[in-house]
């Protein structure tokens, strides 16, 4: 049926073509995008916040008007000094360290002065402590499978390493908090994984 329709349309001077989602195409084109929202949720997966721009590399988790398919380890298609607030939960441990640095530098570039990025990510030190003692092959293999292989985690951070990267990437200060604790009302209901409140870092980073 598709072949017949295409043939008929060609005879009339028309042709059926597949067009990517316009927002994804715009993001990939290198053009600057000016979103309608001043808050951005990085690596949102299926956690879509109202009144935020929600971005993820997996198009299957997107579809709402306030979502965008985007590779966050490439240059972000947003202007400098644009967002007031940003959030990411359990995203940066899924990318390599050099990609973490690049992502945070792009987040800093696109944040307004005094803008705030809240990060929730597993704490390497707490993850190691959870698996003690880590002596012998069985324990080490269990640690690898549970914390790296199965969840597809690549690079964990500690508080110290997160602070070093953020300050080096262009942010001015960092404050460590706890699950659903925040100095900003916009973040008070953003953390969604209570089962990780004892093993995650919760930080608010100021540009």
Q: Judge whether residue 51 has pLDDT over 80.
A: yes
Bridge partners of 68?
55
* CB neighbour list of residue 190: distance below 8 Å, 6 or more residues apart: 41, 49, 87, 89, 118
Name the band, by pLDDT with cuts 50, 70 and 90, for residue 28. Answer: low
Rounded Cα gap, residues 24 and 7, in angstroms: 29
Phi, psi of 88 (to 5 degrees): -150, 130
Name the band, by pLDDT with cuts 50, 70 and 90, for residue 11. Answer: very low
Rounded Cα gap, residues 172 and 163, in angstroms: 10
Given this model, what pLDDT does residue 149 score? 86
Given this model, what pLDDT does residue 19 score? 34
Rounded Cα gap, residues 186 and 46, in angstroms: 19
Q: Judge whether residue 57 has pLDDT over 80.
A: yes
- The reported pTM is 0.83
Q: Judge whether residue 81 has pLDDT over 80.
A: yes
In contact, 62 and 69? CB cutoff 8 Å: yes
Given this model, what pLDDT does residue 196 score? 92
* CB neighbour list of residue 44: distance below 8 Å, 6 or more residues apart: 54, 55, 56, 61, 67
Rounded Cα gap, residues 161 and 164, in angstroms: 5
Domains of the chain from N-terminus onward:
22-206 (3.40.50.150)
pLDDT digits (tens, 9 = 90+) for 89-125: 999 999 999 999 999 999 999 999 999 999 999 999 9
């Amino acid at each position: 049926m598709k072949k017949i329709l295409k043939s008929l349309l060609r005879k009339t001077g028309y042709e059926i073509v597949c067009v990517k989602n316009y927002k994804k195409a715009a993001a990939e084109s290198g053009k600057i995008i000016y979103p309608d929202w001043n808050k951005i949720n990085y690596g949102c997966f299926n956690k879509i916040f109202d009144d935020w721009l929600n971005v993820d590399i997996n198009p299957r988790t997107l579809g709402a008007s306030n979502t965008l398919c985007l590779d966050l380890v490439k240059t972000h298609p947003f202007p400098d000094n644009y967002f007031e607030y940003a959030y990411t939960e359990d995203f940066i441990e899924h990318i390599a360290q050099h990609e973490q640095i690049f992502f945070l530098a792009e987040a800093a570039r696109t944040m307004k002065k005094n803008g705030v990025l809240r990060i929730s990510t597993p704490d390497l030190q707490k993850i190691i402590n959870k698996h003690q003692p880590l002596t012998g092959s069985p324990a080490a293999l269990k640690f690898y499978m549970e914390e790296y292989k199965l969840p597809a985690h690549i690079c964990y951070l500690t508080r110290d390493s997160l602070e070093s990267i953020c300050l080096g990437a262009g942010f001015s200060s960092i404050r460590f908090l706890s699950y659903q604790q925040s100095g900003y009302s916009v973040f008070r209901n953003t953390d969604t994984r209570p089962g990780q409140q004892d093993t995650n870092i919760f930080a608010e980073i100021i540009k």
